[in-house]
Amino acid sequence: MKTRITELFGIEHPIIQGGMHYVGFAELAAAVSNAGGLGIITGLTQKTPELLANEIRRCREMTAKPFGVNLTFLPALATPDYPGYIRAIIDGGVKIVETAGNNPQKYLPTLKDAGITVIHKCTSVRHSLKAQSIGCDAVSVDGFECGGHPGEDDIPNFILLPRAAESLTIPFAASGGMADGRSLVAALALGADGINMGTRFIATKEAPVHDRVKQALVDATELDTRLVMRPLRNTERVLNNAAVERVLAKERALGSAITFGDISEELAGVYPRILQQGDLDAGVWSCGMVAGLIHDVPTVRELIDRIMAEADAIIRGRLAGALA
């Protein structure tokens, strides 16, 4: 399939694996890129720029295909060494960066001067237009369904994607709720040039997370996510568990007086325990409503081949048939 996203990134299929904290290691990024999609290493999961440089080297040993690095600008207790991470990306010869969380304008000249293609992930048309105006090459448009941070507008993709299509001139990927060939065809129909998937890629053989995490996604339904940190205007969609219930109880009790410190026990530094050790209730972890569409744990190649075969069958079969 050829779209503006496959052309921009030099990839075979219009499928991107969004950066995911403690999931986007070299193994997953390389598997996605080898299967013809765009794999992305999560920059900040590597504690230092030197470790990111090493992760980039490891990824390059596993794939000769293009891959990217995610740089997330979210509120953090200590500001990461972004210039250091960017140096590691440039020195490592990576030509694609996914930015997210905040306006990347400050770092854009350095990235563009190094010949890097930047796809910015955002959750609204106005942020997408801003990204376009400052020189981003593409955007991922994350609907309210998405795992992680859906923003504060609560606009689902059935509205957000066609709104993006009528406003943007740069290519964009539909993100949030994407799982299969139906998602891809629907995203293309709504005006997107491809899809960006997070949660679905966690339930794959190559995702370097504990088997209990993958099984939790297979077991979960579309009813099992919750939104935390709404009062802090840092909303995150997560899989419900005991820690999430505690956070929501504190949010109800403290109302607008709540601070990050009140819930840091459930949030700060919990990802390694959950994703690597499989201690699922150790804290709060991102998950999309799309969990309801995840029923198996295929290899990345099986997943991507299946998505493309399903999309082909829908376009040539059901859709063409409806016109016949």
Site residues for ligand FMN per CB under 6 A? 18-21, 23, 42, 70, 72, 100, 121, 142, 145-148, 175-178, 196-200, 285-288, 290
Q: How far is the CB of 151 from ligand FMN (least distance, A)?
A: 11
**Using an 8 Å Cβ cutoff, are 97 and 136 in contact?**
no
Give whichever of 65 and 214 is closer to ligand FMN, judged by the CB atom. Answer: 214
Which residue, 118, 104, 183, is CA-closest to 146?
Answer: 183
CA atoms 277, 282, 283, 286: torsion sign: positive
Q: How far is the CB of 257 from ligand FMN (least distance, A)?
A: 28
Give whichever of 6 and 271 is closer to ligand FMN, judged by the CB atom. Answer: 271
Q: How far is the CB of 138 from ligand FMN (least distance, A)?
A: 14
Give whichever of 307 and 321 is closer to ligand FMN, judged by the CB atom. Answer: 307
Q: Compute how many other C-beta atoms are within 10 angstroms of the C-beta atom of residue 306.
A: 14
Give whichever of 3 and 42 is closer to ligand FMN, judged by the CB atom. Answer: 42
Q: How far is the CB of 254 from ligand FMN (least distance, A)?
A: 26
Give whichever of 104 and 147 is closer to ligand FMN, judged by the CB atom. Answer: 147
For 40, the token pair is 């992305």
- Measured between alpha carbons, how far is 20 from 286 in angstroms, rounded to an integer? 9
By Cβ distance, which residue is nearest to ligand FMN? 198
Give whichever of 202 and 258 is closer to ligand FMN, judged by the CB atom. Answer: 202
Give whichever of 59 and 254 is closer to ligand FMN, judged by the CB atom. Answer: 59
* Helices 300-313, 26-34: crossing angle, 10 deg rounding: 40
Q: How far is the CB of 85 from ligand FMN (least distance, A)?
A: 13
Sequence-distant (≥ 6) Cβ neighbours of residue 269 within 8 angstroms: none
Give whichever of 138 and 197 is closer to ligand FMN, judged by the CB atom. Answer: 197
Q: How far is the CB of 143 from ligand FMN (least distance, A)?
A: 8
CA torsion 213→149→76→83, rounded to 10°? 100
Q: Where are the beta strands (DSSP E) in the chain?
A: 15-17, 39-42, 67-72, 96-100, 117-122, 138-142, 172-175, 195-197, 225-228, 236-239
Q: How far is the CB of 80 from ligand FMN (least distance, A)?
A: 11
Q: Compute how many other C-beta atoms are within 10 angstroms of the C-beta atom of residue 279.
A: 15
Return phi, psi of residue 275, to 5°: -80, -35
**Using an 8 Å Cβ cutoff, are 300 and 308 in contact?**
no
Q: How far is the CB of 275 from ligand FMN (least distance, A)?
A: 7
